[in-house]
């Protein structure tokens, strides 16, 4: 699988014909890697519960060995098509938290995510840190992205993740009023840092648990390299991959 990923990358960079779901495009210049938020589940929360102090979701209380892969930012040329190919090849659904400005620039990639059976969530329009904005701008950032993404799904978007994981009561409350469940993570590899694929894999595997939500990022090639080992490793432990919405649904049925 790793050889296949490398081959796909070479083909994309050379502009060669790719499988139907893989765009023929050049590798873009990405912005400097953002810092992963230092947040984990709140200190005074019970990790066996679904919700944090403001009603945000960190993981789902379930006895089923279900787990959700989530990818923040994007979509990106080069990265997103190869990432989708790995997921498709492994028959793994995922949840993508999409930045509106990127969706506006690369709408065909959002369409591919949706057509592949993966789920999309709201990651604001401009990827601003919401805790530093006035209320009306928080509303605008979430609402504008939601309206754009709804064009691809034909139905309202229900999941929201604030950029950089930065949040407070106001951010979660506004998202709720706009119809969103605010979703964070129980398992983060810190994959925006310059770390090798095996470290990404080790971090994910160490924190994996039933009902877990794994945070990864769309624009990281080392993450794509690590993904086959993550999938194989979790499957070997008996995990089934589901979208965040399916995880929430199954958790409520327990």
Contact 37, 167 (CB under 8 A): no
φ, ψ at 119 (rounded to 5°): -105, 150
pLDDT digits (tens, 9 = 90+) for 108-149: 999 999 999 999 999 999 999 999 999 999 999 999 999 999
Q: How high is the pLDDT of residue 52?
A: 87
Q: Does residue 171 carry a pLDDT above 70?
A: yes
pLDDT digits (tens, 9 = 90+) for 185-219: 999 999 999 899 999 999 999 999 999 999 999 99
pLDDT bracket for residue 253 (50, 70, 90): low
Q: How high is the pLDDT of residue 50?
A: 59
Q: How high is the pLDDT of residue 251?
A: 82
The verdict on whether omega for the bond into residue 75 sits within 30 degrees of 0, i.e. cis, is: yes
CATH architecture for the domain at 2-15+49-253: Alpha-Beta Barrel (3.20)
Q: How high is the pLDDT of residue 63?
A: 84
Q: What is the mean pLDDT of the chain?
A: 85
Q: How high is the pLDDT of residue 151?
A: 97
Contact 92, 240 (CB under 8 A): no
User: What mean pLDDT is predicted for residues 153-173?
Assistant: 97
pLDDT bracket for residue 44 (50, 70, 90): very low
Q: How high is the pLDDT of residue 198?
A: 97
The catalytic residue positions are 72, 217
Q: How high is the pLDDT of residue 1?
A: 54
10-19, 62-71, 96-105: lowest mean pLDDT where? 10-19
Q: How high is the pLDDT of residue 51?
A: 72
Would you state the structure tokens that stand for residue 158, as one six-digit string?
A: 């229900």
């Amino acid at each position: 699988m790793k050889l296949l990923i490398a081959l796909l990358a070479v083909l994309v960079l050379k502009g060669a014909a790719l499988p139907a779901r893989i765009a023929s495009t050049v590798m873009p210049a990405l912005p400097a890697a953002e810092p992963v938020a230092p947040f984990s589940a709140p200190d005074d929360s019970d990790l066996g519960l679904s919700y944090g102090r403001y009603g945000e979701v960190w993981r789902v209380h379930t006895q089923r060995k279900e787990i959700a892969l989530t990818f923040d930012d994007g979509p990106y040329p080069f990265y997103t098509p190869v990432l989708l190919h790995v997921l498709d090849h492994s028959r793994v659904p995922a949840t993508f938290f999409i930045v509106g400005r990127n969706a506006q620039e690369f709408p065909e990639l959002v369409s591919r995510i949706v057509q592949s059976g993966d789920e999309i969530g709201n990651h604001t329009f401009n990827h601003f840190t919401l805790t530093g904005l006035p209320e009306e701008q928080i509303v605008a950032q979430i609402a504008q992205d939601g309206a754009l993404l709804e064009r691809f799904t034909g139905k309202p978007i229900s999941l929201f993740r604030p950029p950089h994981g930065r949040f407070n009561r106001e951010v979660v409350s506004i998202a709720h009023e706009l119809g969103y469940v605010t979703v964070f993570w129980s398992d983060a590899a810190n994959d925006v840092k310059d770390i090798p694929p095996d470290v990404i894999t080790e971090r994910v595997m160490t924190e994996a648990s039933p009902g877990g939500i794994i945070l990864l990022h769309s624009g990281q090639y080392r993450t794509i390299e690590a993904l086959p080992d993550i999938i194989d490793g979790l499957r070997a432990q008996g995990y089934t991959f589901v979208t965040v919405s399916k995880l929430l649904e199954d958790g409520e049925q327990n």
